[in-house]
Structures are given as C-alpha cells and as structure tokens.
C-alpha cells in the first residue's frame, strides 16, 4: 500500500500536493496546520470559531463550513479538538466527516480522548471502507510551534505508514503503539507522568521561596539533574515569570485526568497520586482557572499556604 504522500516524495516540494482536511485550530492545531502549509500541502480547515483560523487562512488554507466539507474529497482528514464529545460530533455527527460523499482514505484524530471512542471510531470508519487512526500528541504549544511534538499512534500498521509523512511534518517523536485505542492509552501514561511532575514542580517552587532561596537560581541546579523534566524546562520558567497563559488548558487537563482515572479503575488499578492530581486540578477549575495553562496549579497551591511563620499545626 503506497503512501498518499508518495506523489510528492513526502517533502512537500513537488508540483502535486496532498489535500488535507483539518478540524480544530486551537493552541496546538493552528501551528500544526502551519507546518503542513509550509510543507506544500493544501489544507481545508474547519473550527467552531472562524476567527481562530484567521492566521492559517491568511497563509493559504481554505475554509470549510463543517467537518463534512472539510473531509470531502481530501486525501486525509485530521481532528484535534477539545473533548471526546467533540470528537464524536465532528466524525460521527449529522455533519461529521464520515457523512462525506467522497470520503478520504484516512481519518486521524489527534485529540486526547477516550480509548473506547477511538475503537468505536475505527469500527465506524471501517464500515465505510476507510482507516481511522488515534494519534494524540504531547508537547504543548512549544512542541506544536517547533514541530517537535511526541505523537502516540494507535491503528492499523499499514494506515499508519501511509500517514507517516503527515506526522513527520508536525512531530519529532512518532511511535506506533499498537492497534486502535493504543495511542490514547499511551497518552494516559503520559498524563499520569505529567500530573505527578507538575505537583512536584509547584511544591518545589513554594518550598524554595519559603526557604529563602532564589527559585531561578535553584532551577539552574536541578533542571539538568535527576529531577530534570519537560515541566521543569518549559513550564517552571513560565511560573516564575508569572505567565499562566495556556500551552495546554486546565479545562482539558481535567478531562484528560478524568479519562485516566476511569481507565485505571477499569483495569482494577487504584492510583492515589493520579486521583490526588485530578482532585487538585478539578479544584483549580472550580476556582476559575480552567482557561489558564496547567502551570496555574501553582496559584491554587500558593493560595492555600499558611502565612510565613505559621504551621498547619498552629491553632
């Protein structure tokens, strides 16, 4: 089975371009569309708020009025939206991609979503004679801008290889994890790790400040040691700058952690660290921080600290 990208050698430099339907121009999706356009592909986009697609429309993307129109007659259609219900709507809804008359051979969902939905979407696509791939990403706005996202892929191996050049335009680490749903399950692993590292980072910053240390100087010592992580390198500097704007929304992380907790319990696992992180982020959302980046957890934990000189045991 040849890649639909073979016609341009996967480089985007040939005279024949690949036609891609794209649904979702959020924090990451906009940059990803930009990379595809830079690689010479044609992209037809749909997003609920047209203004969010303004920058890619200016760069040459075409506009679609709904997901069906975005998918119609393309070589592949890709979605990266907010929630599982959005995934279901854009692909299985009354104007979803699978209602197109001329279906693309490959449907790719890059949203962090429910593994069960990924399996169901694969089955629905197969009934229409097309392949469906779940390919959630990690790396936030920085990874999307730099084209270095980690892409975790579930689906049939042949379809994954056909679409690999598309993934290579947007990501730096591209791993096929297994059959339908395997990409989403791998993203759950990723989010469990992220949740733990974020709590540790916030608590470390709070301790450094209370102990009379300069958190920026401390960061120089720990970021390259055994405690080093993506969170320390990318999000802690934002915290220290007072930048809590979203590279990834707390609203979406609450969704991700909820999926992770449900899936873990479905396998018979109790993961107290994960459940604690879910509780903290749910509380952050309840306090109005849902539209901030995940690093805004610091604000929640900071606001709950006793005044200096007090201890939680004092009355």
Close Cβ partners of 6 (under 8 Å, ≥ 6 residues apart): none
- Selecting from 3.90.1300.10, 3.40.50.720, 3.30.365.10, 3.40.50.1370, what CATH number does the domain 6-179 have? 3.40.50.720
Note the Cα 35 to chain centre separation in Å: 16
| Nearest Cα residue to 254 out of 274, 228, 233, 225 | 274
Given this chain, do its domains 6-179 and 185-303 carry the same CATH topology? Answer: no
> Whole-model pTM?
0.90
Where does the chain have alpha helices with state H? 29-38, 54-58, 67-71, 84-92, 115-127, 140-146, 157-170, 182-210, 215-222, 230, 236-240, 250-266, 272-284, 297-303
Q: Which residues are known to be catalytic?
A: 187
Spatial separation of the C-alpha atoms in residues 239 and 265, rounded to whole Å? 32
CA 70, 76, 82, 86 torsion: positive or negative? positive
DSSP 234: I
Distance CA(164)–CA(176), nearest Å, equals 10
Domain 185-303 belongs to what topology?
Answer: 1.10.1040
- Delimit the domains of the chain by residue range: 6-179, 185-303
- Tens-digit pLDDT profile for the chain (315 aa)? 345 555 434 444 444 578 999 999 999 999 999 999 999 999 999 999 999 999 999 999 999 999 999 999 999 999 999 999 999 999 999 999 999 999 999 999 999 999 999 999 999 999 999 999 999 999 999 999 999 999 999 999 999 999 999 999 999 999 999 999 999 999 999 999 999 999 999 999 999 999 999 999 999 999 999 999 999 999 999 999 999 999 999 999 999 999 999 999 999 999 999 999 999 999 999 999 999 999 999 999 999 998 875 544 333
């Amino acid at each position: 089975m040849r890649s639909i990208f073979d016609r341009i050698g996967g480089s985007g430099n040939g005279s024949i371009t690949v036609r891609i339907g794209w649904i979702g121009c959020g924090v990451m999706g906009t940059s990803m569309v930009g990379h595809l356009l830079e690689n010479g592909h044609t992209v037809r986009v749909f997003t609920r708020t047209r203004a969010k697609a303004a920058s890619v429309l200016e760069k040459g993307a075409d506009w679609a009025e709904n997901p069906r129109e975005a998918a119609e007659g393309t070589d592949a259609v890709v979605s990266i939206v907010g929630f599982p219900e959005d995934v279901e709507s854009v692909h299985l809804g009354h104007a979803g991609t699978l209602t197109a008359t001329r279906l693309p051979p490959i449907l790719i969902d890059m949203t962090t979503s429910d593994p069960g939905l990924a399996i169901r979407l694969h089955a629905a696509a197969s009934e229409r004679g097309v392949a469906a791939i779940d390919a959630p990403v990690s790396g936030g706005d920085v990874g999307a801008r730099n084209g270095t996202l980690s892409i975790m892929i579930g689906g049939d191996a042949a379809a994954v290889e056909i679409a690999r050049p598309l993934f290579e335009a947007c990501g730096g680490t591209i791993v096929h994890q297994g059959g339908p749903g395997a990409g989403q399950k791998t993203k759950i692993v990723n989010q469990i790790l992220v949740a733990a590292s974020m709590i540790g980072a916030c608590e470390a910053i709070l301790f450094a400040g209370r102990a009379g240390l300069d958190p920026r100087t401390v960061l120089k010592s720990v970021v390259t040691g055994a405690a080093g992580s993506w969170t320390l390198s990318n999000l802690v500097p934002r915290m220290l700058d007072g930048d809590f704007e979203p590279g990834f929304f707390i609203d979406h992380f609450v969704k991700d952690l909820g999926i992770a907790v449900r899936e873990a319990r479905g396998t018979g696992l109790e993961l107290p660290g994960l459940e604690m992180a879910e509780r903290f982020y749910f509380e952050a959302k309840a306090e109005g921080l849902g539209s901030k980046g995940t690093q805004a957890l610091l604000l929640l934990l900071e606001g709950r600290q006793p005044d200096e000189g007090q201890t939680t045991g004092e009355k």
